[in-house]
Amino acid sequence: MKILQSWNALLFVIFALSTVCFFMYYTARNSEILKTQRRSFTKEQAEKTIAPYEPSLRDAMTASRTVHCDEVTEIKYQVHAGGLSGKMKIDTGASQMNYWNDIGEVFPVNQSLTYMGKYTTKYNHLVDDAAVIHGPRDSNRVQRIAVIIPFRDRHSHLRIFLGHILPVLRRQGNTFSIFVVEQAGADTFNKGRLMNSGFKFARTVGNKLDMPFDCFIFQDVDTLIENDNLLYRCTKRGLIDHLSTSINKFGYNPLCCGMTVGGVLAMTPGIYELLNGFPNSFWGWGGEDDAFNARIKKKGLKIARPNAELGRFTMIHHGADSLNPHNGGRLPAVRKSTDALEDDGLTNLDTSVEEVWMYATFVKVRVNVGTPPK
């Protein structure tokens, strides 16, 4: 009897061990598959769809690149001859200081840069109207792009974002300027007001400097393009381009989980003005993009989207921002928002630019957006 019992125990141990081994093998194998499963394009395919590299950037592009940052601190991905293609891994790593100058220089793009506006040295000077123009400036350019980034206290994300996007935009042969629109003070975040203020600033500056922007891209600082073949431009006449269709946070399911037009959205200034910009009345996290979507519908405009594969984006993981609490009342507010379309947006924007700073690769506009109603 005793012998039988110990045989049973032995058999049980063997069974348990083999189950554990099999499970470990299976997990390792799967993660290996995930690692190598890059949605890659052949070099020929890629070269057909993207503009050629600038020779000065070619070497930097073909090596794998690492951008250091605070908190999230490190982003590693392979950049190969066809450009970016595939998932990115964002790791935590060594902490770095993050001064604005430093952020400005996160990627050394010294070629084809034009600094415009009143300034005494190249950067780090208080200026009035300013733009840093990347890429060719010949007068017959099809599109001059202004990238508007609403911002507060996400320095590490901005570093990652710039290190990531600048080479992509340059590789795509775009002519573009980046405007980081920072909310001053410590009141609740208001993304709509920042978008509108950034738009107004870039529009005015572009016209004054004889460099009018004909495409505006409204960009969340934490949302990173995965695929070079997706052009960062206004692609279809009269349409609004929603580029960030499938985001890793939502398992790359297109427009999953309540997303409407959030992330990365491109359109001509005429369309933005027709929609009266974003509503100014949304304070805190969420809703302003859904209200913008409602505006688009109300005006009968159409949205163009890349397919789920091309429109893949990685969102940098982050916790909640204390000054950007969830806007609990956003759903009813969105439903009502189109009633006030003509009176809530660019037309009644009451914000003021406090400071304008020019850095190596972008201009920062610090805006006082006012205070939320009590």
* Interacting residues with ligand BGC (CB under 6 A): 257-259, 262, 286-287, 289-290, 330
* Pick 258 or 372: Cβ nearer ligand BGC: 258
Least distance in angstroms from the C-beta of 162 to ligand BGC: 22
Q: What is the CA radius of gyration of the chain?
A: 24
Q: Which two tokens mark 136?
A: 């060719």
The structure tokens 């709509």 sit at: 192
Q: Which two tokens mark 65?
A: 């690149």
Concatenating the DSSP letter of every residue in 225-252 gives E-BTTS--S--STT-EEE---EEGGGTT
Task: Write the single-letter amino acid at 48.
Answer: K
Task: Write the single-letter amino acid at 315.
Answer: M
Least distance in angstroms from the C-beta of 312 to ligand BGC: 16
* Pick 50 or 194: Cβ nearer ligand BGC: 194
* Pick 116 or 265: Cβ nearer ligand BGC: 265
Least distance in angstroms from the C-beta of 97 to ligand BGC: 31
C-alpha to C-alpha distance for 209 and 211, rounded to whole angstroms:
5
Least distance in angstroms from the C-beta of 263 to ligand BGC: 8
* Pick 175 or 223: Cβ nearer ligand BGC: 223
Residue 17: partners with Cβ closer than 8 Å, 6 or more residues away: none
Least distance in angstroms from the C-beta of 261 to ligand BGC: 8
* Pick 295 or 330: Cβ nearer ligand BGC: 330
* Pick 177 or 244: Cβ nearer ligand BGC: 244
Q: Are 284 and 325 in contact (CB under 8 A)?
A: yes
Least distance in angstroms from the C-beta of 297 to ligand BGC: 15
Q: Which of 245, 266, 344, 338 is nearest to 297 (CA)?
A: 338
Task: Write the single-letter amino acid at 232.
Answer: Y
Q: Are 178 and 197 in contact (CB under 8 A)?
A: no
